[in-house]
Amino acid sequence: MHKKLSKETMPAQKRLLVIDDEENMRHMLSSMLKNDGYRVDTASNGSEALDMVDQTLYDFILCDLRMPDMSGMEFFETARDKLWASTVIMMSAYGSIDTAVEAVKKGAYDFISKPFKIDEVLLTLKKAEERESLKRENRWLKERIRKIQDDYHFGNMVAKSKTMEEVFKTAEKVAQYDTTVLIYGASGTGKELVAKGIHFSSPRAKNSLVPVNCGGIPETLLESELFGYRKGAFTGADNNKKGLFEEANGGTIFLDEIGELPLSLQVKLLRVLQENEIRAVGDSKTKKIDARVIAATSKHLEHEVNNGTFREDLFFRLNVMPIQLPPLKDRTEDIPMLSQHFIDRFNIGLDKNIKGVAPAAMSLLLKHPWPGNVRELENVIERAVILAEGPILIPENFPMELDGGSKAENMDDLFDGYSLKINQKILEKRLITKALTETKGNRTKAAAILEISHPSLLSKMKAYGIDL
C-alpha cells in the first residue's frame, strides 16, 4: 500500500504563465499543463503579463509573439530584468520565425512554431526543466569548488604555504578599511597582485585601481603625472590634465617601487597622505581627494631612511600596515599548486591540453632557487607548455638551467678567442641547435622560443649549415 504524500513532502508545483491573445489557446494550454502538474496563470496581452511578473516569480513563461498593443518581443525586452529566474519559451506562427530566433539570441530559452502538437510543448518544457536542473547542479559544484579553494586564494593569487596563508588573512582584513598598506617583496613575488586583491575585496572595488610605477616615469614628468597640471603650466601644457591621484578618486592608487620616488616628490606625497589634498602643477589652489594608497617596494625602506634617501616621516605614514611577501624559494610547497594554476591558464590561452607536471620535472622545479620568484616560474611554465608534445610536462620541456647548470658547458670551452663577430655566430648556432633539438625539429616553435621570426630562423639555419 502506497503512503499518501503530505503537503510537506510533495514536490512544489512549477509556476507557469501563458501569454496569448487567443482565448482558445490560453484555455487549451492551461488545461493541458495543469493536468501535467503545473500551476498555471494566463494573460491575454503583454501589458497584463508585465503586471503579473511584477507580483509573481514564474518558473516558465510561454509567450505568443504576435499580440495587439504589446507584442511578445516587446514584453520580453521590457520585462527582461524581472525574468532572471524564469525560462521563457516563445510561441511563433510561421511568419514570425525570424523574430523568435532573435528572441532566443537575446536570452529566451527556445521557441515553438504554431500550430504545434501538445507533446511538443511538454517535451520543450521537460528539456527546459532538465537544463535548469543541470544549471543548479553546476552552481552547486562551482560553489563547492569556490569554498574548497577559498583557503588557497586571494584575488588572483594562489598559495597553500603557512606564510602566504598569513599574508592572505592580513590582506583580507585590511581590505575592509582605508588604511595605507606597504607591501614588501622582491621582484616577481606578486606585490601588484596583493594590491589588486586588497582593492577588489574592498568597498572601493566599484571604482578605479590606478597603478603607478614610481621608477618607470622620468623624474621631470612624475609630479605632473601624479597630480596633474593646469593649462599653460609649462611648454606643451595646452589643456588641463587630471593626475593619477584624481583618476583614483573614490578608488585606490597603487604606488609600485615607492622607494624610487625622488625626495622632492616625497614631501608632496606626505601632504597628500596627511591632508587628503593635491595641487596640480601650475595651480594655486588645492583639491580634496579621496584615494586609498597602497605602496610597494623591493627595497628595505628603513635602510633608505638611514641612508638619507627616503624621508622618515613618509616612511611612518606609509608603514601603517606592512605586508611582507616571502621569496618563492622560501615557500616551495606552493610550487605544485602554482604550476598547475599556470598550466590551466596557458591551456586556455595557447589552446593546449596539458594535465600536469611529471614527478622528475617537478623535482627540478622544487630544487631551483627561483631568483625571479613567481614571475620566473610563470615564464618557465609557459615555455614548457609551448614545447610539450604530450599531456604531461617532462624535464626536457624545461630549461637546462633548472638542474643547476650541470649540463652547461664551460664558457671558455664554448667560445673561440676574443672576436665578438666569431663568437656571436658560435653562440647563435649553439642556441638554434639547442632550440631545434628541444622542439624535435619544429621550426615554428623553435623560432618562438628564440624570439626571432620564422624566415630569420630559416636564413640562419642555412648560413650555419644546420639541418635538423
Confidence of residue 409 (pLDDT cuts 50, 70, 90): very low
Q: Which residues, other chains included, contact 279 with Cβ-Cβ below 8 Å and sequence gap of 6+?
A: 227, 268, 285, 286, 287
Classify domain 411-464 at the CATH topology level: Arc Repressor Mutant, subunit A (1.10.10)
Confidence of residue 295 (pLDDT cuts 50, 70, 90): very high
Most confidently modeled of 124-133, 139-148, 324-333? 324-333
Determine the straight-line distance between the first and last CA of the chain, rounded to whole angstroms: 80
Confidence of residue 100 (pLDDT cuts 50, 70, 90): confident
Average pLDDT, integer, range 215-223 = 86
Q: Would you say residue 216 has pLDDT above 70?
A: yes
Q: Would you say residue 239 has pLDDT above 60?
A: yes
Distance CA 386, CA 439 (A): 9
Q: Which residue has the higher pLDDT, 10 or 260?
A: 260
- pLDDT for the residue 377: 95
- pLDDT for the residue 282: 86
Confidence of residue 94 (pLDDT cuts 50, 70, 90): low
Average pLDDT, integer, range 159-180 = 91
Q: Which residue has the higher pLDDT, 224 or 11?
A: 224
Average pLDDT, integer, range 208-228 = 89
- pLDDT for the residue 405: 47
Q: What is the pLDDT of residues 56-75, one digit of tens each?
A: 888 899 999 888 888 888 99
- pLDDT for the residue 443: 87
- pLDDT for the residue 149: 46
Domain spanning 154-326, CATH class: alpha beta
Architecture category of domain 331-402 in CATH: Orthogonal Bundle (1.10)
Confidence of residue 232 (pLDDT cuts 50, 70, 90): confident
Q: What is the pLDDT of residues 305-332, one digit of tens each?
A: 999 999 999 999 999 999 999 999 999 9
Torsion of CA 359, 363, 364, 365, to 10 degrees: 90
Please, what is the average pLDDT of the chain?
A: 85
Q: Identical fold at 15-140 and 154-326?
A: yes
- pLDDT for the residue 136: 66
**18-22, 47-51, 153-157, 394-398: which range is least confident on average?**
153-157
* Domain range summary for the chain, segments of one domain joined by +: 15-140, 154-326, 331-402, 411-464
Q: Which residue has the higher pLDDT, 190 or 236?
A: 190
Confidence of residue 9 (pLDDT cuts 50, 70, 90): very low
- pLDDT for the residue 114: 82
Does the domain formed by 15-140 have CATH 3.40.50.2300? yes
